[in-house]
Structure 1
């Protein structure tokens, strides 16, 4: 099955799946709804448009729900919380309006929310699916209609975003050749390093995996009728060659460039 590799890195990321207005959570890994939403944005799809459709030239049957994601946790990042206020200190006539178009009662003008983020996290994701869909998605991620972001518009994605694809063997690359954005934690004493993977299908040895439930299968992104279904994911720790640890900064970027040169068709 064809696939592609994307790299999700940036100063801040946020992957909520049960947020309310005042409490905006983040999961420790990218959610399915956010990944499909990022791809749909790159394709130029509006929030009210279906996920399964014919391409503009009628040559490709694009099926975003058929995509599968294998997530490698290069760096889990540091959880952070932003105490966010809107309307504080303003005259009542300039405060945020209610849904009815009225002003809030005195003493309630300031809207408070707490927003969670992952700082300095890096994930490498193998996206697999039908050949026609993967080809369209790869083209869109290379030249997105709307800029990709990492869960929220305030969290832009670093480049390169698209590492390789379309093509075969992208999941194998996660285990064998894509550099890890981390340093060797053992100082050269071991030959392998423990790395977490997030899978949307059970691994062969599911007993060794943690099973979690996410409410992140998008049914509709329409602003007035967003809806999601629940699913299971599995988090498993794999031992990868310690040589994949490429460190940080220029050393990591050099290793990533070498991988990209080798992966180019």
Structure 2
């Protein structure tokens, strides 16, 4: 049987490496499949040599509550040290000077992720997230997640929960004024990222804004430090109307709504 769990990825900073290499550490605009599989592997105590294809049967649907703001952090590594203590090169020598590194983050972003898969996968992942071997983080160890991270450890249909029940974090500014006129009464438009065209997901949802296809190289084939490999997949981005009642109002306590939902009192 298939079921799922729900994650809420929120915090001051997130960083989901997409094409990171050398001195520029970028971030995708959403949680990547490789990062989520890495989070599960770490929580379950698997080291980097473990085969990440154990998570191949999982499907991810991401609701973008807040896209966040782009932030670039300027780093230097190895400055002020003696030559032999500066950054090493691949040839075994030393650079002898500071190395500049620019690291990209999403500030104040919020994503809610529906993870769907066989019960035999979902149950141990949920157990591990509740009692992790290595602490989860939002793409980088310095990016600590808000609580609750695991909104629901087991739901029969997590995608429908995203559409109809999971509380929606209010945006930093007035929500989607440029879209409001195109949303049905009593709803607002929210971006979803999903792995299959929406009309094949058996969702009774009126999609207004069409779908954009995105090619991403984030399917982990190996996490080995010197042999990392990633395959590609196609994602679909769709603006979908969800009930306005899901939005946490300014005079409500967001934590209270989230905890109530996590404990079983649906919004």
TM-score w.r.t. the length of structure 2 is 0.87
Deviating runs (4+, > 4 A) in structure 1?
Answer: 186-190, 247-250
Aligned counterparts of 2:189 and 2:208: Cα–Cα separation in 1: 17
Unaligned runs of 5+ in 1: 53-62
For residues 250 and 152 of structure 1, the distance between their equivalents in structure 2, rounded to whole angstroms, comes to: 31
Aligned position for 1:28:
29
Contact 1:180 1:247 in 2 (8 A): no
The answer to whether the Cα contact below 8 Å between 2:61 and 2:114 also exists between their aligned partners in 1 is yes
- Which of 252, 255, 260 aligns to 1:253? It is 255
Change (3 A) 1:9 1:249: farther
Q: Which residue of 1 aligns with 2:8?
A: 7
8 Å Cα contact 1:164-1:263 kept in structure 2: no
Match of 2:120 in 1: 132
The correspondence for 1:78, drawn from 69, 82, 106, is 69
Question: What is the deviation of 1:251?
Answer: 1.3
| Alpha carbons of structure 1 residues 182 and 226: separation in structure 2 relative to 1, 3 Å | same
> What is the number of equivalent residue pairs in this alignment?
251
Which deviates further from its counterpart, 171-180 or 255-264?
Answer: 255-264
- In structure 1, the partner of 2:141 is 153
Q: Which residue is equivalent to 2:214?
A: 212
Measured in 1, the distance between the counterparts of 2:137 and 2:251 equals 21
The answer to whether the 8 A contact 2:209-2:239 is kept is no
Indicate if the aligned counterparts of 1:181 and 1:248 stay in contact, CA closer than 8 A: no
Distance 1:250 1:100, change over 3 A: farther
Give 1:171 shift.
1.2
Does the CA contact (< 8 Å) of 1:15 and 1:150 recur in 2?
A: yes
Q: Would the alpha carbon gap of residues 248 and 26 (structure 1) be closer, same or farther in structure 2, given more than 3 Å must change?
A: farther
Shift of 1:237: 0.3
How is 1:161-172 mapped onto 2 (pairs within 5 angstroms)? 161-172=149-160
SS in 2 for 1:129: strand
32-41 or 186-195: bigger deviation = 186-195
Structure 2 CA distance for aligned equivalents of residues 37 and 229 of structure 1? 15
Q: Unaligned stretches of 5+ in structure 2? A: 200-206
Q: What is residue 175 of structure 2 aligned with on the other side?
A: 185
What RMSD in Å do the two structures reach over aligned CA positions?
A: 2.4
Contact 2:51 2:223 survives alignment (8 Å): no
